[in-house]
Structure 1
Amino acid sequence: MKKISYLSFIVLFYFITACATAPLTGRKQLILMPASEVNTMSFQAYDQMLEESKVIAGTNDAQTVKDVGARIQYAVEKYLKENNLSEVTEGFEWEYNLVEDASANASCMPGGKVIFHTGIMPICQTPTGVGVVMGHEVAHAVASHGNERMSQSMAAQGVLSVGSAFMNQNPTLGKQLILQAAGMGTQVGLLKFSRDQESEADHLGIIFMAMAGYDPSESIAFWQRMSAQSGGEAPPEFLSTHPASSTRINNLKKWLPEAMTYYNASPYKGKP
């Protein structure tokens, strides 16, 4: 019993000291892994994903992804600098790629590695639509959601070892955690946290796109198109890692006045 109590104390102490604050929003997070370790693993996984995919280059859509990414990156770095948070993206190696995949999806892995699927481009329709998705996905990386998701999964599985030692001991689990870090949750017990992260990314994303000169009101139209594309087949919100479309759209309407102040001040306003 003494051994169990001592172990419980060690675990509790470890988790308490591992608590961090989400940049920009102040939400409390469980962070168990150094950002440098997460980024290294993310870069390796990203390179592998590109090797296994058909990367699209030389098309208008591919160039749009890169151009919009560069403008969102500018907005993020400007926002962080103005708020004395430039260290948030230290170690980032920004990259934007379009890959052949019919699913309507996109992701930004830890460290600024972005992938858009060709299947989401018809829903985006315009560079502004791409800005909606880009701002949202980049916000996940800026707010350390990948590290948080990995830490939650590690905690749920009782894994306390971190960094390269952990990866070497259990590379399969490490790969699963990296995939979760890109937005692929599996356990219902973790879904509420993921919904919080999604809403946080929506809020930050609409600010980032507005700063980059993309009309934030178009975010509402994009999510309406995304909801229509799903054909009403989305699971109930309590079983989904994403907020219900109606919840998301109502939140975006609530945040729109704030985002418009950034849009009106953007040097890119009115530019394609």
Structure 2
Amino acid sequence: MKSLLSVSLTLLLVACATSPTGRSQLTIFPDSQMAEMGAATFTSMQKSQKLDTSSRNASYVNCVVNALIPELNAIAPAMRSTQWEVKVFADESPNAFALPGGKIGVHTGMLTVAQNQHQLASVLGHEIGHVWARHSNERVSQGFVAQSGMQLAAVAAGDMTSEKQQLLGLLGVGAQVGVILPFNRKHESESDEIGLELMARAGFDPRQSVELWKNMQKAGGSSTPEFLSTHPGTDSRIRDLNTKMDRALKIYQQAQASGNRPNCHL
């Protein structure tokens, strides 16, 4: 038991990292391995889900992505080697995603809820933020540690001493409610912050990020209470975006003045 705990603690110490916003992270897996996982998942999705055949939709989405990526590369040199690939899926749900290795998917339903280039840039900036901040690596690492913790708890099984009860609480319920859910919500908030800056730097109006979430609210969504959700509630999201809006507007005005004026249309 002591040996297993020692190995786990060593693993945690060497896997500590820092996110783009300065938050401490646990990222166990190498970026190359995460990129391979992302590419394999993206390939599988293209085989199992229907791709949209509209060249107009593809051009529109790529136009927005191509405006965002240079701004990402300017502030995140480590991302410059990423080869971004974009696909539009024929799916009416308002969704988009980005996988490690630079694989971006957009559902046609998102092109209805995101009513202009600025709102779509808010969505895609957010998803690109997940990749830059290595959130997938962090989630996989958390799951790995949680599972390892449960195995350690199983090793410790026997008479239920107070110490073992505490261990089970920390590694069982504690792992699920005390660690994993809050971190996932932090991922979403962190990506909102990153996306807001990226879209502003690219010359997209950051105020439209709030309008996007109003549209999402109108379109409906999960009725899960915010306390147990892995995503911030829409009202909380809008409030958090508004607290960062003054800085984003200054960046946007500077971008516009320097000639960053995207012109992406369906």
| TM class, shorter-length | 0.7 to 0.9
Give the AA of the match of 2:46: L
Whichever residue aligns with residue 70 of structure 1, its letter is N
> Per-residue CA shift, 1:77-106, capped at 9, x if unaligned?
1222xxxxx12x155220111111121111
Deviation at 1:210? 0.8
Question: Which residue, 217, 235, 259 being the options, matches 2:248?
Answer: 259
Q: Which residue of the partner structure matches residue 43 of structure 1?
A: 39
The correspondence for 1:32, drawn from 28, 31, 35, is 28
CA RMSD after TM alignment: 1.6
| Matching residue's letter, 2:36 | T
The answer to whether the 8 A contact 2:202-2:262 is kept is no
* Aligned-partner SS, 1:29: strand
Cross-structure match for 1:269: 261
- The amino acid of 1:77's aligned partner reads N
In the TM superposition, residue 270 of structure 1 has moved relative to its aligned partner by 6.4
Report the Cα offset of residue 269 of structure 1: 3.0
Determine if the alignment matches structure 1 residue 7 to structure 2 residue 7: no
Aligned partners of 2:93 and 2:110 also within 8 Å? yes
Structure 2 residues not aligned, in runs of 5+: 150-175
Alpha-carbon separation, structure 2, partners of 1:256 and 1:59: 34
Tell me if structure 2 keeps the 8 A contact 1:36–1:91: no
Runs of 4+ in structure 1 deviating by more than 6 angstroms, as ranges, are none
Equivalent positions of 1:77-88 (< 5 A) are 77-80=73-76, 86-87=77-78
Name the TM-score, length of structure 1 as normaliser. 0.82
Tell me the CA shift for residue 60 of structure 1.
Answer: 2.5
Deviations 1:159-181 (A, max 9, x none): 8xxxxxxxxxxxxxxxxxxxxxx
Q: CA deviation at 1:264?
A: 1.2
What CA distance in whole angstroms lies between the structure 2 residues aligned with 1:93 and 1:242? 28
Secondary structure at 1:97 match in 2: strand
Q: Which amino acid aligns with 2:113?
A: I
Could you tell me which residue of structure 2 aligns to residue 209 of structure 1? Answer: 199
| Counterparts of 1:271 and 1:127, CA distance in 2 | 8
For each residue in 1:30-77, what CA deviation from the matched residue of structure 2 results, as whole angstroms up to 9, or x when unmatched?
011000111012111111111222222344322111111111111111
Query: Which amino acid in the other structure matches residue 40 of structure 1?
Result: E
Matches within 5 A, 1:94-133: 94-133=84-123
Higher Cα Rg, which structure: 2
CA distance in 1, matches of 2:195, 2:202: 11
Aligned length: 234
- Distance in 2 (CA, whole Å) between partners of 1:96 and 1:68 is 11
**2: CA distance, partners of 1:61 / 1:91:** 26
**Aligned partner of residue 92 in structure 2, secondary structure:** coil
**Counterpart in 1 of 2:56?**
60
Q: Counterpart of 1:130 in structure 2: which amino acid?
A: L
Task: Label 1:150 to 1:108 Cα distance change in 2 as closer, same or farther (>3 A).
Answer: same
Deviation at 1:230, TM superposition (A): 1.2
**Is the 2:73–2:80 contact (alpha carbons within 8 Å) kept by the matching residues of 1?**
no
- Give the fraction of aligned pairs with identical amino acids, expressed as a percent: 34
> Is the 1:98–1:118 contact (alpha carbons within 8 Å) kept by the matching residues of 2?
yes
Task: Give the Å deviation of 1:211.
Answer: 1.0
Contact 1:39–1:91 (CA under 8 A) maintained in structure 2: no
Cα separation, partners in 2 of 1:25 and 1:247, compared to 1, 3 Å:
same
Structure 1 contact 213–271 (Cα < 8 Å) conserved: no
